[in-house]
Homo-oligomer: A and B are copies of this chain.
Amino acid sequence: MALVVIGGVAAGLSAAARARRLDPHLEIVVLEKGPVISYGACGLPYFVEGRVRKASQLIVYTPEYFHKERRIEVRTGTRVVSISHPRREVALESGGSVRYDRLVIATGARCDTSAFAGSGQPHVFTLHTLDDAECMRRFLDEKRPKRAVVVGAGYIGVEAADALRRNGLRVTVLERSPHALLRDEPWITAAVRKQLEEHGVELRCGVSVQAIEADRVADVPCDLVVVSAGFKPNVEIAAAAGVEAGRSGAIRTSERMETNLNGVYAAGDCAEVTHLVTGRPTYIPLGTTANKAGRVAGANAAGGRERFGGIVGTSIVGIFGMAFATTGLSVEQARREGFSPVAARIEAQARPRYFQGRKTTVELVADRATRRLIGGAVIGEEGAAGRINVIAGALQSRLRVDDFEQLDLAYSPPFATVWDPLLIAAQQLMKEL
């Protein structure tokens, strides 16, 4: 039995490693188009910033490690150009081919810069691979740019803006939609703008970038451009082989992470997963999901029977020390999904003042009919990750706000207030329901 995995980053390597654990005899080959594998893509902005000194610090495992310790063959610089499922074979750019019995597609996603004229210029970068980050860092060191434009105010966009600002550049972020962080709440965008502006970064929403000029983008002068827009799942090879995509354009999967083709699995930034709040397929490409879904794909490809229940869409991003964390559905998303959303938002001390506690903002969204929590957001300088995780757990457990309000949360002055902001938000929400 041979397992072939296309893609050697989060989902692909999780799949390969898990398959090996379940079947010591399986032949496992990982085909990676890039020069390195197993890097923490979420750490790239911190390499650009300079906090991570060497790119190698972001690499978790080497091909040698997988070969020696896991008996997994990893071929870097190996691009798959097509899949022939009837022949159970993938064709390589180099001309060769590799046979498989089971296939895991973990081809990831890309930043599609083709929509922007002039994106091929040497001062224009994406921040998707380790190579991208190294090129941008080198450009910063050698060319000493003074002004940057970041196209796209998603997670990578604001992280890149933060990193560049810390390197002394003047930074403007241009976002096509009216909102930052891929969200639709005006209050979150306002909070992001406030935090960026307080640290000298300008955010302009509703700006549609058509072309990148040599010295400006949409009339903003600059000598460095980061494109963090046009994120697209890499599904072309899969699609050509008959693998079906969902409505999002990413590969449709079962809860076993299997595609419509028997024995062909998909996971990571190229695949859909189930949203546990709506019960419907969703495409929210994140490293956590890639690792978990990859693990399940690998287990099943090795003959196991595991399922990936799904996600609730939890994410967090740090902007100059402030955390912006969200999970579940926004009010608008909930309405579109057929819920009758009711929201409450409060601001409260995260810890007592005598422990230098700061204010934190919590929003909770519930469905009026069932009183179930269906979304939440936490913005603050401390404890935001823990608090969004409590909400995420509640969404996954289908908790009603009535039960959430009674959660027995930890209290001691160095860590929290006696009424945690989460509970204050829940009390407020119960008044609204």
Which A residues form the contact surface with B (CB < 8 A)?
A: 10, 40, 42-43, 46, 51-52, 57, 155, 276, 286-289, 291-292, 308-318, 323, 325, 327, 352-355, 383-390, 392-394, 396-397, 399, 403, 406-416, 418-420
Contacts and interface: CB of A to CB of B under 8 A. Distances in A.
A40 to B, nearest CB: 7
Contact of A407 (B43, B396, B415, B419): B396
Nearest to A315: B410
- Give the oligomeric copy count: 2
Contacts of A411: 42, 286-288, 315-316
Given A288-B418, A291-B419, A392-B407, 8 more contacts: A57-B354, A276-B408, A312-B408, A317-B412, A386-B387, A389-B389, A393-B407, A396-B408
Nearest to A309: B406
Contacts of A10: 418
Contact of A52 (B287, B354, B409, B420): B354
Contact of A318 (B286, B316, B323, B412): B412
Given A10-B418, A393-B393, A407-B393, A413 B383 contact: no
A327 B413 contact: no
Contacts of A399: 393, 397
A408 B392 CA distance: 6
B390 A308 contact: no
B418 A42 contact: yes
Contact of A392 (B43, B291, B410): B410
Contact of A42 (B42, B310, B413): B413
Nearest to A60: B418
A11 B416 CA distance: 18
Contacts of A43: 352, 354, 413
A42 B287 CA distance: 39
Q: Which of A311, A389, A409 has the most CB of B within 10 A?
A: A389
Given A42-B418, A415-B323, A410 B396 contact: no
The 9 A-B pairs of least Cβ separation, nearest first, read A386-B386, A397-B397, A316-B410, A318-B414, A385-B415, A311-B408, A393-B393, A314-B408, A288-B411
Contact of A410 (B354, B385, B406, B414): B385
Contacts of A384: 415
Contact of A406 (B325, B396, B412, B414): B396
B392 A389 contact: no
A403 B57 CA distance: 32
Nearest to A286: B411
A57 B420 CA distance: 19
A389 B410 contact: yes
A40 B394 contact: no
Nearest to A399: B397
A419 B60 CA distance: 13
Contact of A389 (B287, B406, B407): B407
A127 B379 CA distance: 36
Nearest to A326: B410
Given A393-B394, A397-B397, A413-B40, A385 B383 contact: yes
A412 B42 contact: yes
Nearest to A351: B385
Contact of A390 (B288, B312, B354, B393): B393
A291 to B, nearest CB: 6
Contact of A412 (B309, B316, B407): B316
Contact of A418 (B291, B383, B393): B291
A291 B406 CA distance: 11
